[in-house]
Amino acid sequence: MPASHLARRTVLAGAGLLVPGLALAAPRYDAVLWRGEGRNPYGAPGYRSLSKAVAAAPANGARPFRILVTRGVWDEQVVIDKPFIHLVGEDRRASVISHLAASGLTAPDGKRWGTFRTPTLFVRAPDFAATRLTIQNAFDGLAEMTKPGGLHSHDGAGPQAVALMLDKGSDRARLSEVDILSYQDTLFPDAGSSLFERCLVTGSYDFIFGAGRALFDQCEIRSLVRPVDPVEGYIVAPSTPIDQPVGFVFHQCRLTKSGATKPGSVYLGRPWRPSSAFPDGRYGDPRYVGMSAFIDCWMDDHIAPEGWTEMWYTGKDGNPRTMLQPEEARFSQFRPRGPGVGPFKRGRWLSSREAKALVAAARL
């Protein structure tokens, strides 16, 4: 075979392209999501659901188990409970892992879902990776909140609908060119470390929240309109443990908005203090002091000039509306640009040296 033909076959195989007339080997996958009849063209076992593909992976794998997510909507709730599961999408926007669940809706067991049971994808094992696909919670939060008698966030069983949760057991998760879509409480990096590169995250209220360590590098963070509330949104609600120096760090990201989102209506974030049980009662745990920083980010005009704001928690005296101020948390920014840049007096301004060190500390 001429060297030029061999080189061409090598390039095409690496890109995952199947070209009629060329007998090339597809890139190696361990499993393929496949609804077609007969053998799939990728030379790997085919499965009709992601859960079944994950079940086929070794329990304690020491190398990546690569699952090709082919084009289509794969409607299921999935738990990743094995290490080194790597999801590779055939098409970033057409390879979709989807499920519909919201806190206030009734689950199959007859109980309300509650926020922590809603994720489309739970990751509970280390070294998870995903690239070029979409993870979404299909619950239509805007439609629900704008209809008479719809679910509202102040109800306690409202429109919270998580797309992705990095749960206990997750660590070193890496997502690249992934769209993570929902309306409220979209992304829940609650454990371990994670890296999001060139991803899109959409939502309105507290749509990136939790206690984990996460670096968002060159991502788009898109705020969605929320016409039913006076405040249209909060991007982050970190619950970072006080002994953990890094929470959510956004580096060279773009903070964008849907068209109808009002100027100055979205805060960078507010500090979430979850409750824990103590000998003298259950109340907001002082060990959680949220940390987040926006470094070298472009911001559209929807960002509130104060930057950061307060958030309620249950006080030791039982008052459910005790307020945790942003000055009591660890919120900061460095060199923002764009029409949404304000004085951000409620967050700390970092020096160049501090910003560089913080990005380095957030990396995997």
Q: How far is CA 219 from the centre of its chain?
A: 11
Q: What's the chain's Rg over C-alpha atoms?
A: 22
**pLDDT averaged over every residue in the chain:** 92
Model pLDDT for residues 93-145, shown as the tens digit of each residue:
999 999 999 999 999 999 999 999 999 999 999 999 999 999 999 999 888 88
Q: Does residue 43 fall inside a structural domain?
A: no
Q: Is residue 44 part of a domain?
A: no
Whether residue 122 lies inside any domain: the answer is yes
What is the domain count for the chain?
A: 1
Query: Is residue 31 in some structural domain?
Result: no
Kindly state whether residue 42 falls inside one of the protein's structural domains: no
**Alpha carbons 234 and 231: distance in angstroms, whole number:** 8
CATH number at residue 283: 2.160.20.10
Instruction: Report pLDDT for 64.
Output: 97
Give the list of residues 6+ apart from residue 180 with CB closer than 8 angstroms, or none: 134, 135, 136, 163, 164, 186, 187, 199, 200, 201, 202
**Residues catalogued as catalytic:** 185, 206
pLDDT of residue 230: 77
Length of the chain counted residue by residue:
364
Could you tell me how far CA 198 lies from the centroid of its own chain?
12
CA distance 103 to 160: 5
Instruction: Look at residue 240 in the predicted model and tell me its pLDDT.
Output: 98
Which are the contacts of 38, defined by CB distance < 8 A and separation ≥ 6? none
Task: Name the band, by pLDDT with cuts 50, 70 and 90, for residue 21.
Answer: very low
Residue 15 predicted with pLDDT over 70: no
pLDDT at position 273 over 70: yes
- pLDDT tens digits along 24-77: 454 589 999 999 887 899 999 999 999 999 999 999 988 999 999 999 999 999
Question: Could you tell me what percentage of the chain is helix, strand and coil, using 3-state DSSP and rounding each to the nearest 5?
Answer: 10, 35, 50
Higher pLDDT, 259 or 297: 297
Q: Please check whether residue 32 lies inside any domain of the structure.
A: no
Q: How far apart are CA 126 and CA 85, in angstroms?
A: 9
Determine the pLDDT at residue 156: 60
The secondary structure of residue 141, as a DSSP letter, is H
Q: Is the pLDDT reported for residue 193 higher than 60?
A: yes
Amino acid at 117: R
The pLDDT value recorded for residue 232 is 87
The residue-averaged pLDDT of 71-90 equals 98
In this prediction, residue 8 carries a pLDDT of 38
pLDDT of residue 27: 57
Q: Which domain holds residue 296?
A: 71-362
Query: Does a structural domain hold residue 28?
Result: no
Report, as an integer, the average pLDDT of 252-262.
95
Positive or negative: CA dihedral 116, 121, 124, 127: negative
